[in-house]
């Protein structure tokens, strides 16, 4: 079945360690996104990528890094520079319409990261 | 970054009642999306709207793209217990980013 797979679902790390969250999609979507969700809040954009080997910072990119070496994969690294990394992280991808503008965004199941 | 104003923040309703929620923006959008999120899961797309004035239904759900292109509405008719969750609106302007509302938490009392 086609979809977006995030792994792992739960992740625990010690403070000061970098950690990488996986996001894979087999929908043949060009665009991929990473969002952060905190309790009682909406989704805030961390990074997004429109094509392979290209990505742009979102609203809260500080302390995060990404790569887009393959169309199917968009891993997110939470670095030790991120001051408050404990959160629910969501990956999404979207298709492009004929006018080359993204349409709907489809989400993975999320990764809950807890830093202790 | 831009966040959309979504209201109400939370709703407690009796099973069988209708539900209405809305989302407003200070900017014009070309696409409005509505999602439902269950606890600990990713948001699931419910309805997508692409034209000002568009009215689209998905079962008991109906959403409208406001004619000003700065707002959108979601209605749920005859609510049932499985409608419980958080509903998010999202909008896209001329760029490639999706902006999300702060969510409406829906509780359905049997």
Per-residue pLDDT tens digits for A90-112: 999 998 665 656 578 899 999 99
Distance from CA of B97 to the nearest CA of A (A): 8
Q: What residues are paired with A65 via a beta bridge?
A: A77
**Residue A102: predicted pLDDT:** 59
Q: How far apart are CA B30 and CA B93, in angstroms?
A: 5
B51: its two tokens = 């034209």
Residue with tokens 């948001």: B43
Cβ <8 Å between B97 and A58: yes
Cβ <8 Å between B98 and A45: yes
Q: How far apart are CA B33 and CA B24, in angstroms?
A: 12
Distance from CA of A67 to the nearest CA of B (A): 18
**pLDDT for B3 beyond 80:** no
**pLDDT for B44 beyond 60:** yes
Written as one string, the DSSP assignment of A56-67 is EE-TT-TTEEE-
Residue B12 CB partners (closer than 8 Å, separation 6+): B107, B109
Cβ <8 Å between A45 and B40: no
Q: What residues are paired with B19 via a beta bridge?
A: B76
| A interface residues, B as partner, C-beta within 8 Å | 4, 6, 31, 33, 35, 40-45, 48, 50, 58-60, 88, 90, 92, 94, 101-110, 112
Q: List C-alpha distances in Å: A13 to A46, B2, B104.
A: 20, 31, 31
Per-residue pLDDT tens for B64-105?
A: 999 999 999 999 999 999 999 999 999 988 777 889 999 999
């Amino acid at each position: 079945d086609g979809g977006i797979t995030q792994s792992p679902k739960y992740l625990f790390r010690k403070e000061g360690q970098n950690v990488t969250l996986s996001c894979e999609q087999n929908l043949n979507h060009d665009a991929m996104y990473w969002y952060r969700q905190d309790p009682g809040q909406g989704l805030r954009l961390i990074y997004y990528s429109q094509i392979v080997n290209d990505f742009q910072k979102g609203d809260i990119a500080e302390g995060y890094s990404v790569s887009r070496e393959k169309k199917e994969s968009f891993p997110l690294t939470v670095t030790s520079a991120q001051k408050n990394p404990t959160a629910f992280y969501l990956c999404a991808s979207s298709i492009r319409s004929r006018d080359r503008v993204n349409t709907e965004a489809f989400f993975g199941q999320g990764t809950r990261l807890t830093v202790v | 970054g831009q966040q959309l104003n979504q209201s109400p923040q939370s709703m407690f309703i009796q099973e069988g009642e209708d539900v209405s929620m809305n989302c407003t923006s200070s900017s014009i959008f070309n696409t409005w999306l509505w999602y439902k999120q269950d606890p600990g899961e990713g948001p699931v797309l419910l309805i997508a709207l692409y034209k000002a004035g568009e009215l689209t239904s998905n079962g008991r759900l109906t959403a409208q793209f406001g004619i000003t292109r700065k707002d959108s509405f979601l209605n749920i008719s005859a609510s049932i217990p499985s409608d419980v969750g958080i509903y998010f609106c999202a909008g896209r302007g001329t760029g490639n980013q999706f902006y999300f509302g702060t969510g409406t938490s829906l509780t359905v009392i049997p």
